[in-house]
Structure 1
Amino acid sequence: MIELSDSSASIAGIVLLTIVTIEFGGAFLLRIVRGQVPMTEFQKSFARAGHAHAGVLVTLGLVCLVLADATDLAGFAGWIARVGVPASAIFISAGFFLSSLGKGTTAPNKLIALIWIGAAFLAAGTLTLGVGLLTV
């Protein structure tokens, strides 16, 4: 049986609770696809991308928690290995959703920068965890 550290168990619990928001996003996405919510093609594509990234990155984040506990990473490195990917799910998804807000929007606003912040968290988390696993 795999035993999670207290840190990983707490983070996993929080991440699992966020899945409800992804479910609500999926229901909203179905309304968009059915034409019940007026959106431009740009907004539809960003809504799909935001939803997809949330689901995939939350799942990867849960896997990373188990892997982080298989390393000797502690302190800041351990924190980045555990929180990097879940944080990227928040920032990347928010970047897609928030940068496409507004009636008739056809191009992203400045909040697209959130995607790049999320990408930095994703890179930091996976690189730290990868190095941690290779040096066990």
Structure 2
Amino acid sequence: MLELTEAARVTAGIVALSVVAIESGGAFMLRIVTGREQVTDFQRRFFRAGHAHAGVLVTLGLVCLLLGEATTLSGFWRWLAQTGVLVAAIVMPAGFFFSAMGRGRQEPNRAVVLLGVGAVLLAAGVTTLGVGLLRG
């Protein structure tokens, strides 16, 4: 059986509870697709992408958190391997949502930069984890 550190156990618990926030995003998406929330086509696409990224990246982040326990990484590198994807799970959806906010918006605002920041965190996290797993 996989033995979790205290930090990993607490992080996993908090992340599991964050699914409720993602679920509320699903309720918002339901209002959009049923026409009860008026948005532009651009906003509909970005809100959908933000919601999807949140769900997928939280799931992947939990897997990375667990797999990080099987590495010999330490310090910053262990943190990055175990939580880089979880940070990306916040930053990337925020980029989609915040850059599409505002009545009638047709194109992203400057918050779109968060998408790139999240992508870098995602790549750094999974790359560090992969190297850590291969090294043992």
Asked if 1:96 is matched to 2:111, the reply is no
- How far, CA to CA, are the matches of 1:75 and 1:13 in structure 2? 21
SS state of the match for residue 120, structure 2? Answer: helix
- How far, CA to CA, are the matches of 2:17 and 2:118 in structure 1? 20
Amino acid at match of 2:74: A
Alignment of structure 1 residues 23-42 onto 2, 5 Å: 23-42=23-42
The aligned counterpart of 2:135 is: 135
Normalising by structure 1, we get a TM-score of 0.98
Task: Provide runs of 4+ in structure 1 moved above 4 Å.
Answer: none
The aligned counterpart of 2:117 is: 117
Normalising by structure 2, we get a TM-score of 0.98
Alignment of structure 1 residues 7-86 onto 2, 5 Å: 7-86=7-86
- How far, CA to CA, are the matches of 2:118 and 2:11 in structure 1? 17
Aligned-CA RMSD value: 0.7
- How far, CA to CA, are the matches of 1:9 and 1:78 in structure 2? 15
Unpaired stretches in structure 2, ≥5 consecutive residues:
none
The aligned counterpart of 2:4 is: 4
Using the TM superposition, give the Cα deviation of residue 7 of structure 1 relative to its aligned residue in structure 2, in angstroms. Answer: 1.8
- How far, CA to CA, are the matches of 1:78 and 1:133 in structure 2? 11
